[in-house]
Amino acid sequence: MAIIVDQGKNIFTLHTKNSTYQMKVDELGFLLHTYYGSRIDNTDMSYLIYNMDRGFSGNPYEIGGKDRSYSLDTLPQEYSCFGTGDYRISALRIKNGDGSRGVQLYYDKYILNKGKYSIPDLPAVYADDDESETLEIILKDPYSHVEVHLYYGVLEKNDIITRAVKVVNKGSEKIVVEKAASLSLDWISQDFDWITFYGRHNMERIPQRSAINHGIQAIGSVRGTSSHHYNPFAILCEKGADETKGQCFGISFVYSGEFLMEVEKDQVNQTRLVCGIHPDNFEWNLLPGEEFNSPEAIMTYSPHGFGQLSRNLHETIREHICRGEWKHKRRPVLVNNWEATYFNFTGDQLVEIAKDAAKLGVELFVLDDGWFGKRDNDNSGLGDWYPNEEKLGCSLKELAERILDTGVEFGIWFEPEAISEDSNLYREHPEWVVRIPGRPPALSRNQLVLDFSRKDVQDYIIERMSDILSEVPITYVKWDFNRSICDKFSNELGPEYQGEFAHRYVLGLYRVLEELTTKFPHILFEGCSGGGGRFDPGMLYYTPHIWCSDNTDPIARLTIQYGTSFGYPVSTVGAHVSTVPNHQTRRVTPFSTRAYVAMSGIFGYQLDISKMTEEEKDDIRKQIEIYKNRYDLIQNGHYYRLLPPTSDMCTVWEIAAKDGKEAIITAVYHNVEANPAPVMVQVQGLNESGSYQLELDTVFWEDKLDEKVKNWLLSKLPYGYGEGELISGAALMKGGLVIPPAFQEYQAWQIIIKQC
């Protein structure tokens, strides 16, 4: 069993393959956190708790003057509460009927079940009964009669423990939940760093590592979405931890809205992490008998560095977050017309792009923005989801059928959450817009936001999209959202309920996505929010991959995709080859480099194929063939970060088959020097006793170089790349591998390693 309950001592021990998590009810009935780390036995770890009298850390009334060393302000707690003696960051804050904000929770009982719990109206990790167990612990406040249910889902083989919370008003007066975090986690006297992932539009999820010092540090979003600016994922690690060594803990929040992740090192060097919905714009009213369910947080532990932690999360997201027909089905190679045409196109132009794409092996054409309403720029038309037949020159169904006749599938772009002031929908329903009465709203991209907290708005979007998806042969939907939310107010909520708006908005979004993905299971939904502005496990529950960034420059993508890889698998990352000079950075890079970077994701193109040279078209054929041949390995293999983008010369990553018999190493030079020092990496994930053949992928350059350059390069190839030369797995993993040198700026290589 993964969950062990010692009923005599009230100890709860949760085991995964490599970790142990433990709680204990103490003599006063408080639930204390005693251990989370490398797997141990069922020993009572509360012996590590050291109490002494700390000035200005008060004592519970039950203790009286008998033991001044006992204080909630210093004890490691399982779910921390505000207002009753713990002055650190708290997980739960409630305004009681009398206006007070004190809550104090005592243990009541536990429930143990096979299988994984679910959360009403919210995405969550799922698993079969033979893969998981659930522990539910119920705590009560005997004074306010608040009841808190703590949920723990254990996926033993994945090294995953999930957390969620339910707050129930068992009293006779209304209460207001002002903060209800999904987890609170205490470590006794640990000296940690933490790694978070910050960014901005066109440059998302950049890793930053900093020491957790005394005081409070936090990341979060009050933008209505999880945001480009901070991802709802963080790693706590011991000093010196790296890709292959050291203890580290990953926390990933399964939520697409406003969040807060806080860490605090307290007066006695203990560390607390709290994660949940951001409380700044949150209040949830609970009448007697009502309940509130928090989103889920995923915890994972690795004693062997960040690499194993990432692979724990990758497997869990692939197998226990992503759902539906497209969970394991190969995603089509697509071309999106956005960077080819922007708003300026006709139906005939789109068909021509599709024709050329089909000849090269592209499988899907995606029509981006501009096909509906009065929409020739981004100043009008959002909300009017009716095809512009004058612009298309035919109905949308006829256009789709013409594109299908070229030999590719048809996909389409929507931005269902947004509305333009210059739209028929706005003129008919101005009350559907998110804005504070009597104030002019802030514009972003000259658009406003539809109030997805309203059921009538949700129903309208479901109806309009269903009509189109039912009538037109569409197999792919790109769901976009191109602004942050402010002026938060709903015309349908009373004054005392406005604090519920931001969360109700996300619940409304999830309801719409659930209905549409259930109604149209054959359609592949791609998530997008100006690229990676809502790249989180909550969206992946409905859209099995997300457009990683609007920035398609492969050198910028090295950092973006590197940061993304810490918490998310390759199979969730939308990545496309675009034209040069790149539309975001104006950088010029080799076609092969753009392809190799995009192959570490859901592969496609964002350019006008009809304007490409015959040589470039031939390269596209080769790129698509290579990607399809390597698809299973790329999408399902184990991912290893070998050299980061911050290295002097080269970024290198590897994807290895789970059985260790095959691997692909991709290396991209971002710096070229005369007389360079060799770039060397240690391969991972192979079989030490196996013998391997190295193959350098030369398909994109060998027929393009003059003999002088080709001979120079061949003379510089390190040992092992010659035909018939074998190297042991142990040598590659412990000795290393030399990456071939660059012969041009931004040179990229793919190296295939196969066991013989």
First to last CA, the chain: 40
pLDDT at 660: 98
Domains of the chain: 3-320 (2.70.98.60), 640-755 (2.60.40.1180)
Residue partners of 601: CB distance under 8 A and separation at least 6: 545, 548, 561, 570, 573, 574, 575
> Both tokens of residue 480?
């976009």
pLDDT at 142: 96
Q: Are 570 and 655 in contact (CB under 8 A)?
A: yes
Helix axes 455-471, 396-405, angle to 10 degrees: 40
Give the pLDDT means over successive 10-residue stretches in the chain (756 positions). Answer: 95 98 97 98 96 93 87 97 97 96 97 98 98 98 97 98 98 97 94 97 98 97 98 97 98 98 96 98 97 98 98 98 96 95 95 95 97 96 97 98 98 98 98 97 95 98 98 98 98 97 98 98 98 98 98 98 98 97 96 96 93 93 96 97 96 98 97 90 98 89 70 74 87 95 91 95
Q: Are 557 and 585 in contact (CB under 8 A)?
A: no
pLDDT at 706: 73
438 Rama class: left (phi>0) / alpha (psi -120 to 50) / beta: left
DSSP string spanning 179-244? EE-SEEEEESS--EEEEEEEEETTEEEEEEEEE--BEEEEEEE-SSSS-SSB-SEEEEEETT--SS
Quick count: other Cβ atoms within 10 Å of Cβ 751? 22
Give which of 488, 508, 535 is closest to 416, Cα–Cα: 508
Active site residues: 536, 616
Q: Are 305 and 238 in contact (CB under 8 A)?
A: no
pLDDT at 190: 82
Q: Are 11 and 33 in contact (CB under 8 A)?
A: no
> Both tokens of residue 612?
């490409």
Quick count: other Cβ atoms within 10 Å of Cβ 410? 24
Q: Is the pTM of this model over 0.75?
A: yes
Q: Are 318 and 636 in contact (CB under 8 A)?
A: yes
Residue 733 DSSP class? I
The type of residue at 506 is V
Look up tokens 């060799």; give the residue. Answer: 678
> Both tokens of residue 432?
């559907």
Give which of 608, 582, 525, 603 is closest to 350, Cα–Cα: 608
Q: Are 546 and 737 in contact (CB under 8 A)?
A: no
The type of residue at 4 is I
How much is the CA Rg of the chain, to the nearest whole Å?
Answer: 27
Distance of CA 719 to the CA centre of its chain: 40
